[in-house]
Amino acid sequence: MLEIGRLNQLAVIEMADLGAYLDGGEFGDILLPTRELSPELGIGDELDVFVYRDGERNLLATLKKPLVQVGECANLQVKEINDVGIFLDWGLDKDLFLPFSEQQQPMEVDRHYVVYVYLDNEQRIAASNKLDRFIDKSDHKYTRGEKVNLLVAGRTELGYKVVVNNLHWGVLYYDQVFKRIRAGYACTGYIQKVREDQKLDLSLEPIGIQKAIDIGDSIIAKLHEEQGYLALSDKSSPQAISAIFGVSKGTFKKAIGKLYKDGLITISKTGIVLNEKD
C-alpha cells in the first residue's frame, strides 16, 4: 500500500506531456514530472519514488530522496519563517512545513533543530519540534547489547536525551561519552540496559565481548593506515585514546590485550606494532 511521505516502489502506467503517471493504487495515478524522467523510461518500469503533496494538495512523486521521511526524526535547518509558519530544508524543492504550534521553543532562521515528521489530520506532511508528542508512544522489546540508531535531541542533568530508532527515548550518561557530541548528532549505538520502567540506558560502544572485537577491528584498520605503528598504548591518556577511537581507556586496553593474545600486535612502551604475517 502506498505511503505518503515515504519512499514507495511504483510502476509507470502512462507516459504524457506532463511526465510519467505512476500506479498509486487506491490513491489514483501519481505524476512524476517530466524534468525527472530519463529517456529510457517506459510503461511497466518500476521506480523508487518519494510521494508528497504539492501546494494544491495533489500527490506528486519525485526521484529525489529527502533527508527524513514520515515517522522519522532528523536534525534540519530552518530556511524561512513567515506569517504562515516555519519552513525547513529537507533536501527537496518544496520545503518541509512546521506549524508555529509545533515549536518546542522559538526557532530562528539558519539554525538546526531536531524534528519529527508526521502526517497531519488532512494527510499533509509536517514537522514538529515537540518530540514528546510522538516518541515513546509504543512498547518495545530491546535487549542488552542490541545495535540501534541514535539521534541526540538535547541535554539533561544526567546525560544526553536521545531518540532511539525514531521511536523511543534513551539516555547517554555523561560519564559514558568519550567524545564531543551535541544535539543533532546521529550515530549507531547500543542498548546498555533496559530498566524495570522500560527506560533505556545507552552506550556508544558495543557491549561485552562484541565491544572488544569491534574496537579491535578498528585498531587493526588504523594500524594498516599508519604503516603498522600507532603511538598509543595502555599507558596513553584517556583523551588521546578517545580522540582517535572515541572509546574509553578501559575499552581500548581490553581490545589491545585481546589483539596481543591473538598474536596480531606487539605492545611496546611507546605504542603498538602490527605483527607481520609469515
Determine the pLDDT at residue 270.
Answer: 85
CA 91 to the chain's CA centroid: 15
SS3 218: helix
Architecture of domain 7-62: Beta Barrel (2.40)
Residue with cell 519552513: 87
Q: Please tell me if the domain spanning 147-203 has the same topology as the one spanning 209-274.
A: no
Q: Is the pLDDT of residue 209 over 80?
A: no
CATH of the domain spanning 73-133: 2.40.50.140
Stretch among 31-40, 120-129, 268-277 having the lowest mean pLDDT: 268-277
Rama region for 114: left / alpha / beta (φ>0; ψ in -120 to 50; rest): beta
Give the start-to-end residue ranges of the domains of the chain. Answer: 7-62, 73-133, 147-203, 209-274
Percent of the chain exceeding pLDDT 70 equals 97
Who's near 77: CB < 8 A, 6+ residues apart? 88, 89, 110, 111, 112
Determine the pLDDT at residue 242.
Answer: 81
Say what the pTM is. Answer: 0.78
pLDDT per residue as tens digits for the range 175-204: 888 788 999 999 999 999 999 989 999 998
d(C-alpha 168, C-alpha 141), whole Å: 11
Who's near 227: CB < 8 A, 6+ residues apart? none
Determine the pLDDT at residue 212.
Answer: 57
pLDDT per residue as tens digits for the range 3-21: 999 999 999 999 999 999 9
Record: fold of 209-274:
Arc Repressor Mutant, subunit A (1.10.10)
Determine the pLDDT at residue 24.
Answer: 95
Architecture of domain 147-203: Beta Barrel (2.40)
Backbone angles phi, psi at 108, to 5 degrees: -130, 145
